[in-house]
Amino acid sequence: MLTIYHFPQDEAALREQLNRTVSFDSDAQRTVDEILHRVRTEGDAAVLDYTERFQGVRLSDMRVPEAEIEAAYAEADPEFISILEEAFSNITAFHRNEAEQSFFYERPGGVILGQRVTPMERALLYVPGGKAAYPSSVLMNAAPAQVAGVDEIYMSTPCDAEGKVNPHILAAAKVAGVTQVYRLGGAQAVAAFAFGTATIPKVDIVTGPGNKYVALAKKQVFGHVAIDSIAGPSEVVVIADAGAEPEFIVMDMFAQAEHDPDASAVLITPSAELAAAVQEAAARLAGTMLRGEVITRALTDNGAIVVTSSMQEACKMSDMIAPEHLELHVDNPWEILPDLRHAGAIFMGPWSCETVGDYFAGPNHTLPTNGTARFFSPLSVRDFVKHTSIIAWSKSELARAGEKIARFADHEGLQAHAEAVRTRLKHL
């Protein structure tokens, strides 16, 4: 199930095994292109048609009534509500530290420069609800949007063939203060909020994970709206030393692999003995898991155990992958942290399992995948704000620097740019 590779000897085979892509198959591309075109041109009628086709229900009202949200909250297990509330408090507290302030400063000559930070007006939080429902995604999307000060926060999640939305998702929406919930899923939901329809508002940003059709739709509507990122299958890399606990590692690899057959889980270690122990434990325990078939397929197709010559080489190998989640099962994780540059989230030590980050710790679990952690960041307050430059130039400073500016424009061959300054200089 898990093959052991030796780096760098087996580098070519390892790269082939761990090859990740952000491309989409042509059938999915055609399907999404058709959905986007119809929703953009036909509006609500197309949304309702696709909802009936893919979700199995002809909706009379696309929005979930607030009474239904309240009922889901009231009927939920009180202990679960308490857990949701504590988790949301942790997530909100973390994101408050990301809040940015506008700034202004004065230069000689009466010039004032600055940057104004303003929240976006409307945001769509997409929450998966097909094969599995993720109330955690509600909390993780809502907290940074609220901290940023977004005026109108909408949520969309698929309903079942009876038009019902998963009650755990609705309970989480209540905890997170999200009242405008739509029972729409897939590319048609993304398109509806990206373009707007007669009954669905056009938003400024779409965030949240989904299947390949949702991911491709987000990619296609980028430019009409902002997006957080294009999410791919989940992935984890574990760096471990000889003293690590094999079963901790195996369960953390399983935790990613159970998401999807396309998920990836990789152990990197300088210890051949640990590598063998993890390989044996994974083979022994996979059959005991409820999603054992999914785990086995994911680890067979996209998993690996990599034996390196040193911990420094292990860090280099991890940076090559740039994983969504990186766990450090080592004696002193802070010691090797400076050697690691590329990861969506780093979990320090054996007690900081990735599951803690998924649900409870506070940092966002919406993370860059497919190696995009080299240049993308986790979902944050910064995704829900925009920055506007402020320039207040004075008459005296234009008199001092105006001709320099005009000559700069001359060198770019832009006459009107230069004359816009020189015309003002004539009035001084």
Residues designated as active site: 324-325
Q: How many of the other CB atoms lie within 10 Å of CB of 60?
A: 7
User: Is 95 known to sit in a ligand binding site?
Assistant: no
259 is in an annotated binding site: yes
- Annotated binding residue at 417? yes
User: Given CA atoms 164, 167, 168, 174 in this order, what sign does their dihedral have?
Assistant: positive
- Residue 17 marked in a binding site: no
- Annotation-wise, does 260 bind a ligand? no
Query: Strands 111-119 and 103-107: what pairing?
Result: antiparallel
| Alpha helix positions (H), 330-394 | 333-336, 354-359
Residue 234 assigned ligand-binding role: yes
Q: Is 365 within any annotated ligand binding site?
A: no
> How far, in whole angstroms, is CA 311 from its chain's centroid?
29
Q: Does the annotation place 256 within a ligand binding site?
A: yes
Cβ contact 351:251 at 8 Å:
no
Amino acid identity, position 109: G
Give every CB contact of residue 315 below 8 A, 6+ residues apart in sequence: 239, 336, 339, 340
What's the sign of the alpha-carbon dihedral 382, 388, 394, 400? positive
Three-state SS string over 401-428 comes to HHHHHHHHHHHCCCHHHHHHHHHHHCCC
Is 9 annotated among the ligand-binding residues?
A: no
Binding residues for Zn(2+): 256, 259, 358, 417
Binding residues: 126, 188, 211, 234, 256, 259, 325, 358, 412, 417
Binding residues for substrate: 234, 256, 259, 325, 358, 412, 417
Binding residues for NAD(+): 126, 188, 211
